Amino acid sequence: MQSINRAAVVVKPGNPFLDWLHRADPTSQNLTLVDLHREPTVYLVPEYVERHEVLTFFTEKGDANL
């Protein structure tokens, strides 16, 4: 089996996202941050040592809103 060195970035939404979701989708009014944190988004990224390297990766890929 071949090994691949990667890191996982777990993205959990914050209050600004929840506020936006409540405005955008009226059916989401009962959702809380606890609900949203149950299934966070996980990105598999190249292995980096520094946080700024990970942010640069997302900036280059077009998802700089982390």
Q: How does pLDDT run across 9-65, given as a tens digit for each residue?
A: 888 999 999 999 999 999 999 999 999 999 999 988 888 778 888 888 888 876 555
Give the global pTM: 0.64
Q: What is the DSSP string of the chain?
A: -----EEEEEE---HHHHHHHHHH-GGGTT--HHHHHTS-EEEEEE--SSHHHHHHHHHHHT----
The single-letter code of the amino acid at 47 is E
Q: Specify the pLDDT at position 63.
A: 56
Among 7, 34, 32, 6, smallest CA distance to 19 is for: 32
Q: Specify the pLDDT at position 36.
A: 93
Q: Specify the pLDDT at position 48.
A: 77
Q: Specify the pLDDT at position 16.
A: 95
